[in-house]
């Protein structure tokens, strides 16, 4: 299953749009961003939306292997090329022929291999280790890095010519703390996933206090860290503990402040979700409405809730269809089976803005 690129922030909406614009170009792409922001998810989406989708997506982590192993992994070898090469072995460039070769953590690639990669990018041909005949690869190379490659170039750790070759299209995935509006949706997404995986635990979704902490948190490990946090909550079902561990896992000033505030505050008071509705996906709006709610409280007006929910769902679905159609309003109104005029009214009422004007 391909991981969805969850998010409603301006940045994620733009990245989704950009992916669709460049996915059929075959131009080299460099994806940048801190660890855990979703660079691999973006690379897989590019593959999914490209004409190469039925050919392999091959991933190589350039930081995980020592230089000689990385070389044989990328280019392959023929029997007898070195001690231990008992059979011919195809390299990842060959396996990714007509598909995608995702070079993860390219900033860690040794300089000598960088020049070989450049050579393949220029001519599409290379020699497997020990081979006398070169082979061709028409792999679409997508690279990712959490280094600032321009600094690496200045430090003479990355080749400038390779940088320009890879950086034809650059997609920067911002850190989670710079798009906190994605956090509630990501929490819902991961809660739905892990509640299914660890059932029968009466797992509490975050209440307003927890949600506000999670949205303000610095998330140095980005979405990966958020994902693990939600996984932990779905297993131990104790937000106080989860948050204490989260804060203890890192020490930025802000978190220390939050830690003291939380430690002094009373036990987190989240709404209990009963067994019967545990498998129902929690929408962020449901979380908001249920938060701290007392079912005997007359203030829960179904009419108001219905209005709020309908507006929210309409906004999400219209934004999605507009995004998918590249803001072609005629096409979008046909898909949504509403008149063009109604769509324009809704765009206006729901405050939807095309990416070009955001
Ligand atoms: N927008 C998103 N929606 C849903 N899940 C996401 C999103 N972005 C990232 N994830 C999840 O977060 C985790 C980390 O994502 P990913 O591996 O793509 O990050 P990365 O930037 O490539 O990290 P690294 O630099 O450490 O390799 C994965 O489990 C991925 O499925």
SS3 31: strand
Q: How far is CA 219 from CA 85, 181, 263, 352, in A?
A: 44, 13, 19, 28
In the predicted model, what is the mean pLDDT of residues 164-182?
A: 95
Of the pLDDT bands very low, low, confident and very high (cuts 50, 70, 90), residue 222 is: very high
Query: Looking at residue 259, what is its pLDDT?
Result: 35
Q: CB atoms < 10 A from the CB of 213, how many?
A: 21
pLDDT at 282: 47
CATH of domain 302-357: 1.10.10
Q: What separation in Å is there between the alpha carbon of 227 and the centre of ligand 1?
A: 9
- Residue 176 in contact with ligand 1 by CB distance below 6 A: no
Give CA–CA dist 358/11, Å, rounded. 10
Within 10 angstroms of residue 155's Cβ, the number of other Cβ atoms is 9
Task: Tell me the CA–centroid distance for residue 38 and ligand 1, in Å.
Answer: 3
Q: Residue 357 has what pLDDT? A: 66
pLDDT at 250: 56
More confident residue, 80 or 224: 224
ipTM of the modeled complex: 0.99
Which one of 216-230, 254-268, 305-319 scores highest in mean pLDDT? 216-230
85, 127 contact by CB (below 8 A): no
Task: Report which of 54, 49, 62 is spatially closest to residue 23, judged by C-alpha positions.
Answer: 49
Mean pLDDT score, 213-233: 95
Is 7 in contact with 18 (CB distance < 8 Å)?
no
Bridge partners, 135 (sequence order): 126
> Whole-angstrom Cα distance, residue 228 to residue 234?
10
Average pLDDT score over the chain = 84
**182 C-alpha to ligand 1 centroid (Å):** 13
Which of 14, 40, 192 to mutate to test ligand 1, by most ligand atoms within 8 A of the CB atom?
A: 40
Which residue among 224, 225, 228 has the greatest number of ligand 1 atoms within 8 angstroms of its CB, and so is best to mutate? Answer: 224
Q: Determine contact, residues 198/234, Cβ cutoff 8 Å.
A: yes
Q: CA torsion angle for 187, 40, 175, 242 (degrees, to 10)?
A: 40
Q: What's the burial of 306, exposed, middle or buried (CB within 10 Å: 0-12/13-18/19+)?
A: exposed
User: Model confidence over 274-293: pLDDT tens digits?
Assistant: 333 333 344 555 555 554 44
Q: Provide the strand spans (E) within the chain.
A: 29-32, 57-61, 76-77, 89-90, 100-104, 125-126, 135-136, 140-145, 169-172
Distance 102 CA to ligand 1 centre (A): 14
Ligand 1 atom with the shortest distance to the CA of 226: 12
Pocket flag, ligand 1, residue 36 (CB < 6 Å): yes
Residue 291 CA to ligand 1 center (angstroms) comes to 28
The CA distance from 165 to 151, in Å, is: 17
What pLDDT shows up at residue 252?
44
Rg of the chain over CA atoms, in angstroms?
Answer: 24
pLDDT at 270: 32
- Local structure of residue 198 (DSSP, 8 states): S
pLDDT category of residue 213 using cuts at 50, 70 and 90: very high
Q: Give residue 224's pLDDT.
A: 97
In this prediction, residue 313 carries a pLDDT of: 79
Produce one character per residue of 128-149: b if its CB has 16 or more CB atoms within 10 Å, e if not. bbeeeeebebebbbbbbbbeeb
Higher pLDDT, 91 or 357: 91
Fold of 10-174: Rossmann fold (3.40.50)
pLDDT of residue 305: 72
Q: How many residues does the chain have?
A: 358
199's tokens: 């059932």
Q: Please indicate, yes or no, whether the overall pTM of this predicted structure exceeds 0.80.
A: no
pLDDT tens figures, 26-78: 999 999 999 999 999 999 999 999 999 999 999 999 998 888 899 999 999 99
Q: 7: Cβ below 6 Å to ligand 1?
A: yes
Q: Whose CA is nearest to atom 10 of ligand 1?
A: 38
Please state, for a pLDDT cut of 90, what percent of the chain lies above it: 64
Name the residue at shortest CA distance from atom 30 of ligand 1. Answer: 38
Domain borders along the chain are 10-174, 180-290, 302-357
Distance 37 CA to ligand 1 centre (A): 5
Whether 38 is in the pocket of ligand 1, judged by its Cβ within 6 Å, is yes
More confident residue, 60 or 202: 60
- pLDDT computed for residue 277 by the predictor: 33
Residue 39: CB within 6 Å of ligand 1?
A: yes
Distance 266 CA to ligand 1 centre (A): 33
- From ligand 1's centre to the CA of 60, what distance in Å? 16
For the CA of 227, the closest atom of ligand 1 is 12
- Name the closest-CA residue to atom 28, ligand 1: 224
Arithmetic mean of pLDDT, 135-160: 94
191, 194, 227, 231, 234 from 202: Cα distances, Å? 12, 12, 19, 14, 9
For the residues 170-188, what does the mean pLDDT come to?
Answer: 96
What is the pLDDT confidence band of residue 272, given thresholds at 50, 70 and 90? very low
Given ligand 1 and candidates 223, 225, 228, 230, which is best to mutate, with the most ligand atoms within 8 Å of its CB? 223
In the predicted structure, residue 104 carries a pLDDT above the cut 70: yes
Query: Which residue has the least CA distance to atom 29 on ligand 1?
Result: 224
Q: What is the pLDDT of residue 300?
A: 61
Read off the pLDDT of residues 301-354 as tens digits, 9 standing for 90 and up: 777 777 777 887 788 889 888 888 889 999 999 989 999 999 999 998 888 888
pLDDT higher than 50, residue 269: no
Q: Which residues contact 23 (CB under 8 A, 6 or more apart)?
A: 45, 46, 47, 48, 49, 50
Is the model's pLDDT at 248 over the cut of 90? no
């Amino acid at each position: 299953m391909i991981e969805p690129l969850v998010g409603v922030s301006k940045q994620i909406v733009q990245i989704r749009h950009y992916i669709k614009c460049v996915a059929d170009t075959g131009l080299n792409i460099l994806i940048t961003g801190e660890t855990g922001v979703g660079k691999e998810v973006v690379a897989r989406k590019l593959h999914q939306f490209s004409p190469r989708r039925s050919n392999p997506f091959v991933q190589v982590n350039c930081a995980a292997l020592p230089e000689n192993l990385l070389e044989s992994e990328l280019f392959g070898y023929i029997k007898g090329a070195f001690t231990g090469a008992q059979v011919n072995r195809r390299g990842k460039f060959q396996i990714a022929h007509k598909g995608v070769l995702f070079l993860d953590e390219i900033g860690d690639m040794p300089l000598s291999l960088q020049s070989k990669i450049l050579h393949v990018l220029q001519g599409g041909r290379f020699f497997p280790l020990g081979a006398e005949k070169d082979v061709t690869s028409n792999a679409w190379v997508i690279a990712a890095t959490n280094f600032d490659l321009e600094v690496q170039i200045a430090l003479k750790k990355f080749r400038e010519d390779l940088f320009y070759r890879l950086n034809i299209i650059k997609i920067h995935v911002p850190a989670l703390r710079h798009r906190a509006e994605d956090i509630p949706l990501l929490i819902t997404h991961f809660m739905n996933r892990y509640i299914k995986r660890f059932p029968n635990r009466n797992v509490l979704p975050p209440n307003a206090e927890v949600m506000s902490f999670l949205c303000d948190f610095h998330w140095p490990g980005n979405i990966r860290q958020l994902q693990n946090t939600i996984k932990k909550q779905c297993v131990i079902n104790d937000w106080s503990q989860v948050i204490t561990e989260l804060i203890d896992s890192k020490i930025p000033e802000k978190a220390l402040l939050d830690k003291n505030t939380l430690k002094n505050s009373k036990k987190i008071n989240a709404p209990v979700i009963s067994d019967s509705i545990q498998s129902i996906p929690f929408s962020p709006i449901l979380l908001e409405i249920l938060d701290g709610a007392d079912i005997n409280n007359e203030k829960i007006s179904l009419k108001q809730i219905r209005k709020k929910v309908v507006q929210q769902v309409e906004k999400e679905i219209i934004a999605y269809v507009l995004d998918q159609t590249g803001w072609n309003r005629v096409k979008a109104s046909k898909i949504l089976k509403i008149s063009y005029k109604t769509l324009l009214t809704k765009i206006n009422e729901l405050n939807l803005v095309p990416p070009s004007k955001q």
